[in-house]
Amino acid sequence: MLQVCDIVYYGLDSFDRDRQRWRVDAHMKRVEDTFGQKPIETVEDQILYDIISMEILKQKLRREEQGLPHTRRFRYQWCRPEEATHVCLSGICGAIAPIEKCEFIKVVEWPQEQIEEARKSAVSDFWLKGDHRPYGWFWE
């Protein structure tokens, strides 16, 4: 199982020649869009539902016209390593990668206390219980 502070290969560099190296920063899982599944109980809920529904429909139609994926929305959410389907990576830029597409190389060459702190921080309540969204919605 990959851990925070592991160095991995994922994909190719900008020239499509050499394997790209990354550091694992966090574990993530895919979360499906559940908009519209909550009961509408007030007039305010209905107004908000109507506004958001119209925006989602506009996005969907715009994406369809452009030939982009448009059938379902999902996002990634921070989670514990054992729940993860993806990892959040950093390098020259950042990426979210499926765990099975990453190949472990080694652990970063940091002091052990720093590695332990980074791993502990990645599973802190701040990240796991909050509604922190590093990215917006993705479509497929």
pLDDT tens for 17-53 read 999 999 999 999 998 888 888 899 999 999 999 999 9
pLDDT digits (tens, 9 = 90+) for 77-119: 899 999 999 999 999 889 999 999 999 999 999 999 999 999 9
33 neighbors 74 (Cβ within 8 angstroms): yes
Q: Render pLDDT for 6-22 as a digit per residue (tens, 0 to 9).
A: 999 999 988 999 999 99
Q: For residue 15, what are the CA distances in angstroms to 11, 12, 67?
A: 11, 8, 26
Rounded to two decimals, the pTM is 0.79
- The whole-number pLDDT of residue 130 equals 65
